């Protein structure tokens, strides 16, 4: 086969066969297809997409580019969760230990930051010593002992996606439903799970800006999971403002630990974060046969926070994966950024909107994300929101604080963050965080 012909075939709207996908993707993994040709193919997919049959084939080839794990020797139902990504989305750090502490096994293979959104691996690796690059035997050992494991892709697990994921991040080819679905499901199906809960986001801070596009992605993901024999459920959630108060890797770890300790989340600005975490946990516990309904699972999730079981489970995970437990138990001892800058608004009123997309890009400026594949992330960098939508704000009041070691971007970052806040004379109408629930039976409104 000829790589250029396959690129042209897709560019003109043709459908690739299984053998052609295998030739292309396996060639990319072993180095016969260079980045520039794969970039051209990805861009062709963005413009022409794929048929349903192609999408299933694409997932299958990506999945079988590496090892498909068999966890049947570890007793218990295995359930994972995946988010399509959003600004301030640190749900996995809270959700996984909640579910594991309730008796459902959570084998989680996560990704790094993609575009303007953060990645679970980058957050975990801000914990000193925490290892996300476990071998398959180590992965199984941690899961067996703790009921929970959180790693990145290994060389064995969906290696085609591992290379494509990094390439899409820096070539403007993220927002394509078949590519997103292929990336997510090839990893998740390779984990050895029995069921999967998805958080599919829409809005300014998500890759899918429009609700109908996010719904189409959610339906695609559920269809793929069902096709491969996994119980799959998707929540459609609003990402038109940041989730919680922290944007940036260590800052998000701190907020997550405060939530696990029960210090945040019920009546404060992390309330949205915890409501979503409890809903997703409820679904995972139901699919994991520990709860008879999502509602019962949600109550179990809240009890795991109240009892401290979820926090203790996270400490157990950190220790098992080589992290410094002392850093988690003494959050205030973490190194500080060189610069801590408050951002103020002019005239007071009510916060009517906060643009998560602009804040995501501002966080990258500060050092919390990547502009190139090989960029180093500063785990300390990021933004703390002092106000959220609907809050009253006085003249010249602080609405956010940012942290960075980069002195040359301070003025630009301050301006970008300030411009992310809109202030009006009356509060804006509150939008529901969770819009709908989608499973193999179709979509239905969430409560």
Contact partners, residue 44, CB within 8 Å, separation at least 6: 7, 10, 11
Query: Which one from 10, 140, 187, 380 is the annotated catalytic residue?
Result: 187
Confirm if 53 and 174 have CB atoms less than 8 A apart: no
- Whole-number Å distance between alpha carbons of 103 and 124: 22
Closest CA to 62 of 175, 129, 153: 153
Is 82 a residue of the active site? yes
DSSP labels for 333-354?
GSPPPSEEEEEE-SS-EEEEEE
Neighbours of 296 (CB within 10 A): 14
Radius of gyration of the chain (CA): 21
Alpha helices, H only, 261-334: 271-287, 294-306, 309-320, 325-329
Give me the half-sphere count of Cα atoms (radius 13 Å) on the Cβ side of residue 292: 0
Helix axes 309-320, 91-101, angle to 10 degrees: 100
Contact partners, residue 445, CB within 8 Å, separation at least 6: 435, 436, 437
Look-up of token digits 């630009």: 412
Is 278 a residue of the active site? no
Give me the half-sphere count of Cα atoms (radius 13 Å) on the Cβ side of residue 439: 13
Confirm if 123 and 93 have CB atoms less than 8 A apart: yes
- Whole-number Å distance between alpha carbons of 371 and 116: 9
Query: Which one from 168, 188, 313, 370 is the annotated catalytic residue?
Result: 168
Query: Which one from 10, 22, 81, 82 is the annotated catalytic residue?
Result: 82
Neighbours of 340 (CB within 10 A): 11
Query: Which one from 65, 126, 183, 270 is the annotated catalytic residue?
Result: 183
Neighbours of 141 (CB within 10 A): 15
CA 307 to chain centre: 27
Query: Which one from 60, 89, 122, 161 is the annotated catalytic residue?
Result: 161
DSSP labels for 406-426?
-GGGHHHHHHHHHTTEEEESS
435 in helix, strand or coil?
Answer: strand
What DSSP designation does 163 have? H
Tokens linked to 121: 């691996």
Is 168 a residue of the active site? yes
- Residues with a catalytic annotation lie at 82, 161, 168, 183, 187
């Amino acid at each position: 086969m000829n790589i250029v012909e396959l690129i042209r075939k897709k560019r003109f709207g043709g459908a690739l066969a299984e053998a052609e996908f295998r030739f292309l993707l396996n060639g990319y993994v072993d180095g016969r297809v260079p980045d520039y040709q794969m970039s051209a193919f990805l861009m062709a997919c963005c413009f022409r997409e794929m048929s349903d049959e192609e999408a299933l084939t694409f997932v299958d080839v990506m999945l079988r580019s590496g090892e498909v794990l068999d966890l049947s020797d570890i007793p218990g139902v295995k359930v994972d969760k995946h988010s399509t990504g959003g600004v301030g989305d640190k749900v996995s750090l809270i959700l996984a230990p909640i579910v594991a502490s309730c008796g459902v096994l959570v084998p989680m293979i996560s990704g790094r930051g993609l575009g303007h959104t953060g990645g679970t691996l980058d957050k975990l690796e801000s914990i000193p010593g925490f290892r996300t690059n476990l071998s398959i035997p180590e992965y199984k050992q941690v899961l067996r002992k703790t009921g929970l494991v959180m790693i990145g892709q290994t060389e064995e697990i969906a290696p085609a996606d591992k290379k494509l994921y990094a390439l899409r991040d820096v070539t403007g080819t993220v927002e394509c439903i078949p590519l997103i679905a292929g990336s997510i499901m090839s990893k998740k199906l390779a984990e050895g799970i029995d069921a999967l809960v998805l958080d599919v986001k829409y809005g300014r801070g998500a890759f899918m800006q429009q609700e109908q596009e996010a719904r189409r992605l959610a339906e695609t993901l559920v269809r793929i999971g069902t096709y491969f024999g996994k119980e799959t459920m998707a929540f459609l959630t609003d990402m038109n403002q940041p989730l919680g108060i922290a944007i940036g890797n260590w800052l998000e770890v701190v907020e997550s630990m405060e939530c696990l300790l029960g210090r945040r989340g019920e009546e404060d600005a992390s309330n949205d974060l915890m409501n979503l975490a409890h809903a997703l946990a409820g679904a995972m516990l139901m699919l994991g046969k520990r709860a008879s309904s999502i509602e019962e699972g949600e109550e179990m999730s809240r009890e795991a926070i109240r009892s401290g079981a979820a926090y203790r489970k996270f400490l157990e995970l950190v220790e098992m994966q080589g992290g410094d437990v002392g850093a988690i138990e003494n959050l205030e001892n973490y190194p500080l950024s060189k610069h801590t800058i408050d951002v103020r608004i002019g005239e007071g009123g009510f916060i009517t909107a906060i643009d998560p997309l602009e804040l995501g890009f501002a966080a990258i400026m500060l050092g919390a994300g990547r502009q190139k594949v090989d960029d180093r992330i500063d785990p300390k960098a990021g933004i703390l929101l002092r106000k959220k939508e609907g809050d009253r704000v006085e003249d010249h009041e602080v609405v956010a604080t940012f942290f960075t070691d980069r002195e040359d971007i301070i003025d630009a970052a301050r301006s970008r963050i300030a411009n992310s806040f809109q202030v009006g004379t009356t509060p804006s109408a509150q939008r529901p965080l969770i819009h709908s629930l989608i499973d193999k039976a179709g979509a239905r409104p969430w409560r």
